[in-house]
Amino acid sequence: MSLVAVLPVKRFPSAKARLANGGISAAQRLALATGMLSDVLAALRRCELVDDIVVVTSEPGAEALARGAGAQVVADDPNEGHSEAAQRGIDWAVADGAFHTLLIAGDIPAVDPTEIDSLIESLADNEVVIIPDRHGSGTNALLLTPPGVISPSFGERSCQRHQQIAADAGAQARVETSFGIGLDVDTADDIDALSAALEQADSSVAPHTRAVIGRLGPR
C-alpha cells in the first residue's frame, strides 16, 4: 500500500477571515492557522499507513512548517482555489506512483492518527471515502482509490457534491463521520466547539492549537 496525504494550504494573511467577526485579530488568526497546520502535520507523521505528505502552498510559512515536518512541497497558484490546489497534490501523488490519496484539511488539529489509519485500512478499490465537517455539509477529508478516481470540488455542500461526482465516475462513495476530522475552524463557534473538545481530550492532542486558543482570552 502506498498512500500520499495531500494538504492544500492557502496564504496565511488571508486565512480564516471569517474569524474577524468573532473579534479575533489578524495576528491571532495567523497564529491559529500556523498552530493548526503544525498539529495536523504532526498527526499525519504518526500515522502508520501514510507513506508521504505533500503540502500544496504558495505560503512561505506553510512551506517552512512542511519541510520541518519532512513533508514534500508543491507550489500552489495563489490565484486558484482550494480544489485546484488539491488537484495539484493528486497529480503529484499519481506521478509518484501512489495507490491511494488522502486529501485532508490543515485546520483540523484534533485529528486522531489511529482513526486515519483505520479509515485507510478499510479502503476498497475504486472508492471515494468522504469525511464531512461536524455539520455534515462540507468535506474535511477525502480518501481516493485510485488517487485520480475523481477531481475534488470543495466548498459549501461539498459532501453531497462529492457523492454525486463519485457516482458519475462509476466509483463507490462512502461517507464516514469522524469527531476529530469534523472539527475544522472557520468561525468563532468552531473555535468554541474545538476548545470544548480539547478540554476533554488528552493534553498531548493538538498542543500548538491548544496553546493559541489559551491565549485568545474571552471574546
Query: For 11-37, how does the pLDDT look when each residue is reduced to its tens digit (9 = 90+)?
Result: 887 778 888 887 889 999 999 999 999
Q: In what helix (H) or strand (E) does residue 71 lie, and over which residues does it extend? A: none
| SS3 category, 8 | strand
Query: How large is the average pLDDT for residues 53-58?
Result: 98
Q: What mean pLDDT do residues 107-120 have? A: 96
Of 40, 32, 2, 35, the C-alpha closest to 16 is 32
All three cell numbers of 71, joined, read 513533508
148 Cβ contact partners less than 8 Å away, ≥ 6 residues apart: 90, 91, 94, 101
Q: Are strands 100-104 and 127-132 parallel, antiparallel or unpaired?
A: unpaired
CA angle 34, 36, 39 (to 5 degrees): 110
CATH of the domain at 112: 3.90.550.10
| Residue 218 CA from chain centroid, whole number | 27
Give the least confident one: 42-51, 139-148, 151-160, 210-219. 210-219
**DSSP output for 127-186:** EEEEEE-TTSSSEEEEEEESTTSS----STTHHHHHHHHHHHTT-EEEE---HHHH---S
Task: Grade residue 219 by pLDDT with cuts at 50, 70 and 90.
Answer: low
Domain count, the chain: 1
Q: Residue 209: which of 102, 85, 111 has the closest Cα?
A: 111
- Mean pLDDT (whole number) for 24-51: 96
What tens digit of pLDDT does each residue of 136-152 get? 999 999 999 999 999 99
For residue 198, the enclosing domain spans: 3-216
Which residue, 111, 124, 95, 117, is CA-closest to 50? 117
